Amino acid sequence: MSAHVPIPTLRALVSVWAALIVLTGTTVGVSFLELGEWNVVVALLIALFKASLVAWVFMGIRHSNAMTRLFCVAGLVWLCIMMFITFSDYTTRGWTYQAQPWSHPKAGGSH
């Protein structure tokens, strides 16, 4: 006995493809804006939305059982935990750049 797996319609596939193209263009457009630290946040939000579209439609998460959805959510929670740990490490370090002697060519001389 085989389980019936719904196949997305051509209209749904083309719509998601068009949305992905538009969102990619939006990512490129936002990269030219001066948003400061928010550039990364906006880019990650757009990427999250694009990944959600791919998982929901192309990977068929919307038609899967509760256990599969639970593991997808658990993976996203784990990703958020790892990003939080990385961000907390990054923000608590004292970053002072000191140029190393070998990074500058000697004045007046050739190598």
Helix, strand, coil shares, percent, the chain, to 5: 70, 0, 30
Structure tokens at 42: 């906006």
Q: Beta-strand (E) ranges in the chain?
A: none
The tally of domains found in the chain comes to: 2
Residue 43 neighbours by CB under 8 Å, 6+ apart: 27, 30, 31
Read off the pLDDT of residues 8-27 as tens digits, 9 standing for 90 and up: 889 999 999 999 999 999 99
Instruction: Identify the CA nearest to 102 among candidates 91, 90, 111, 93.
Output: 111
Residues 73, 37 within the same domain: no
Instruction: Identify the CA nearest to 61 among candidates 73, 49, 47, 45.
Output: 73
Q: What mean pLDDT do residues 31-52 have?
A: 91
Residues 49, 67 within the same domain: no
Residues 39, 67 within the same domain: no
Q: Give the pLDDT band of residue 109 (cuts 50, 70, 90).
A: low
Domain housing 31: 8-58
